[in-house]
Structure 1
């Protein structure tokens, strides 16, 4: 019989002991604890999926609202963007930085402010932006791809935290059971020594 099969048989005898079983009560408690942890981890799967679906629905609503309230526009830089330089040992190019620019709002009025310009851009370059109804620059709306990624991350993260909590509960319970077994074994050992001393 394979080792895994032997382990399953032993575990089953702990859960359902026979008349001649030598399993201690604490062994049965530990076996049932493992079973409860496995069942809880399985039950957590649909709950985590439901949480991810709820996040996706909320993000879809947010994306639709942002798309309805904001619109794309094009800003013209009034100054050069950040220099095209490499920073750090990793060799990463410096990211976008706020730069003076001008753009037209939804009502056709001209606005002046700061927009994020990539490294290496120059005065007069065009930069795509998003503006609200008042013409103020706002972040780009949440994309459908980002909504999917956020929903998956929420579901996986919730399941990971649940499994981590179950693992901590199992580990602390086994630690307590081991201490109980060691204390009981020590008491039995001292009792046996006392009997031998009086005999």
Structure 2
């Protein structure tokens, strides 16, 4: 039997001690607390799933609204983009910067403004850009994949946060019980030493 299996078996016997067990009351308290923490962490799962589902519905509505009001256009740079610079640590080029550009809307209206141009882009380059219903630059709309990822991460984050707090509470309690057991052991040891000295 491997060490992890032995540990699990010891925890189980601490929670439900067999006849003749040498488990101390504090051991049973700690084992019972561990079982309670595990059950409570599992009980949080449905709430986390519900939170993720609500987040999905909310983000889906937001995505639909953004897709309805935002349009992708082709913008022409009126100036050079940021100079191409490699990250000295990774060797990868950094992010782009807002750069003057012009674009034409579906009704023929010509607009100018700033769009994010990648490093190394030059004047005259044509780049895709997203604009709102007024033709002004905007962020890309939420995609279906982004909505799913956001919902999953929200649910997972909530559960991990709750599980982390429960684990912290258990560890603090276990630390307190260990200090209590150590103090009791020291008292018993001193008592035994005094008994031997005076006998």
TM over 0.5: yes
Following the alignment from structure 1 to structure 2, what is the Cα–Cα distance between the partners of residues 34 and 8? 11
State the match for 1:99 in structure 2.
Answer: 99
State the match for 1:57 in structure 2.
Answer: 57
Q: How many residues align?
A: 199
Structure 1 range deviating more: 104-113 or 65-74: 104-113
Following the alignment from structure 1 to structure 2, what is the Cα–Cα distance between the partners of residues 94 and 157? 29
State the match for 2:189 in structure 1.
Answer: 189
State the match for 2:135 in structure 1.
Answer: 135
User: Displacement of 1:164 after TM fit?
Assistant: 2.0
State the match for 2:160 in structure 1.
Answer: 160
Following the alignment from structure 2 to structure 1, what is the Cα–Cα distance between the partners of residues 93 and 172? 47
Following the alignment from structure 2 to structure 1, what is the Cα–Cα distance between the partners of residues 70 and 194? 85
Following the alignment from structure 2 to structure 1, what is the Cα–Cα distance between the partners of residues 137 and 89? 33
SS at match of 1:56: helix
- Structure 1 stretches of 5 or more lacking a match? none
State the TM-score, normalizing by the size of structure 2: 0.84
Structure 1 range deviating more: 36-45 or 80-89: 80-89
State the match for 1:47 in structure 2.
Answer: 47
Deviation digits for residues 149-177 of structure 1 (CA, Å, limit 9, x no counterpart): 22222222222222222221111111100
User: Could you tell me whether the CA contact under 8 Å between 1:106 and 1:134 is conserved in 2?
Assistant: no
User: Displacement of 1:81 after TM fit?
Assistant: 2.2
Following the alignment from structure 1 to structure 2, what is the Cα–Cα distance between the partners of residues 111 and 92? 33
SS at match of 2:128: strand
User: Displacement of 1:89 after TM fit?
Assistant: 3.5
2:72 is the counterpart of 1:72: yes
State the TM-score, normalizing by the size of structure 1: 0.84
Q: How large is the RMSD of aligned CA atoms in angstroms?
A: 2.5
Distance 1:109 1:176, change over 3 A: same
Following the alignment from structure 1 to structure 2, what is the Cα–Cα distance between the partners of residues 4 and 87? 44
User: Displacement of 1:178 after TM fit?
Assistant: 0.8
1:12-27 pair list within 5 angstroms: 12-17=12-17, 20-27=20-27
Following the alignment from structure 1 to structure 2, what is the Cα–Cα distance between the partners of residues 46 and 170? 22
